[in-house]
Amino acid sequence: MIRLRFAPSPTGSMHVGGVRTALFNWLFAKKNNGKFILRIEDTDKERSSKESEREIINSLKWCGLDWDEGPDIGGEYGPYRQSERLDIYKKYINFLIEKNMAYYAVYDKNNNEIYTSNNYPEKYKNESIVVKFRVNKNGITEYNDLLKGNIKFRNDLIDDFIILRSNGIPVYNFTVVIDDHFMKITHVIRGEDHISNTQKQIMLYKAFGWDIPEFMHIPLILGNDRKPLSKRHGGTSVEYFRKEGILKDALMNYLALLGWTINDEIFDYKDKINDFSPDNISNKGVIFDYDKLEWLCGKHLRLMDADQLINEYIDWLKYTDNHVLKDYIIKNIEYSKKVILICREKINTLKQLKDFSYNFFIDDFDYEEKYIEKYLKKEWIIELIKTSIEKFENLEDFSIENVEKILREIAELKITSKKNTFQSIRGAVLGKLVTPGLFESIAVLGKDRVLSRLRRVEVFINEYFKK
């Protein structure tokens, strides 16, 4: 059976590069009716944290990358953790020592190797004692990378390397081999920054006489300066993009496009499982384009039906602690759907949706300065607003057609220009000059809200002109 794993270290936020690696592993496993496994590599006690582990797990779940096995935690699979497998590693450290393929090495305070032995150096027990793998200096180590082809390493260029630290914790290159063997991993898809580790890992596989998995090293995601994507380029974590209001479907769609050659541009990655193949992964570095991601998010946002979009929005408001707005929307769900559907045409993210639609949900908004300066200081504004109140008071059916008819009637009175008429009323009911379509906005707001807001701006104008 095809078995793949994603094995992050819980030493920071969940980087989008890691999510893309997890995605490619997940797709390959699902394509082949195999298994996808999550393993937390937390043997670096100083840098690993439970908070980071929780963020990794929550990010993967949010992205929809479910794993297929692991310890049972209340009816669902938890991840494997290296910190819970130390006894297994110890057994195979001892095996290598017994077979003369590893040995003890003692280091002084200046990090100089001062003694080596096949037996535990008891007389140096107060010094720094590690275990090192004995490298066979003859020949080469080679393997066929599924993306990069045949890769060779000269053995005489590598020194004996540490497999067990002085604190009793084994190193990454050792634990990964033990875990991948016992978890029956058949394919390892990971970033090309791991190529340098592969020689040591293959040496260990051969030392144990174990089958070596297929390796595939994919190019890293780059910033616009063609250096690995990092915080100097902008946000890089799943949590960052989630807080910015990027839809998970859009993020996963975009990450799939970073290196995977596929005909479609806008898709749900779960619909493309059967199209995935390592043969379609590019060997070229890929640049992360924040604008392209935002554009793609807008496309997904506008393709959603009203129920799906409102649920995504409510979940995002909860995630970002906007509980007052979330509660209002839940209590006024049908009105909120109408608002969101007319607002989404001009925005690309849920965060932009919040900013753009906010004045539909609160009545005590501030009028933007540009609106005050350009319209509310004009002599004709008092007459225009008073006339608008009278016209809308007599309108019973606030359909878009009827709203448009009333607005055009007001404009035809030539109190001011048509543009001034429409923009003055737009600002009066929504506090700003860039909004969804005016006719649609007024129809959605409804008679009571529109009249209340027109009367509010009338009071504001009267107070202003008294100054």
Angstrom CA distances, 404 to 15, 185, 418, 454, stand at 49, 65, 12, 17
Task: Classify burial at 280, counting beta carbons within 10 Å of its beta carbon; exposed 0-12, middle 13-18, buried 19 or more.
Answer: exposed
Number of H helices, E strands in the chain: 17, 13
End-to-end, the C-alpha distance of the chain in Å comes to 80
Residue 303 tokens read as 């393709």
The answer to whether the CB of 129 falls within 8 A of the CB of 105 is yes
Residue whose C-alpha is closest to residue 111's, from 36, 164, 166: 166
Residue whose C-alpha is closest to residue 422's, from 439, 398, 401, 440: 439
* Residue 242 φ then ψ, to 5°: -65, -45
The answer to whether the CB of 269 falls within 8 A of the CB of 252 is yes
- Between CA 275 and CA 12 the distance in angstroms is 32
DSSP-derived 3-state class of residue 66: coil
Task: Classify burial at 165, counting beta carbons within 10 Å of its beta carbon; exposed 0-12, middle 13-18, buried 19 or more.
Answer: middle
**Enzyme catalytic residues:** 231
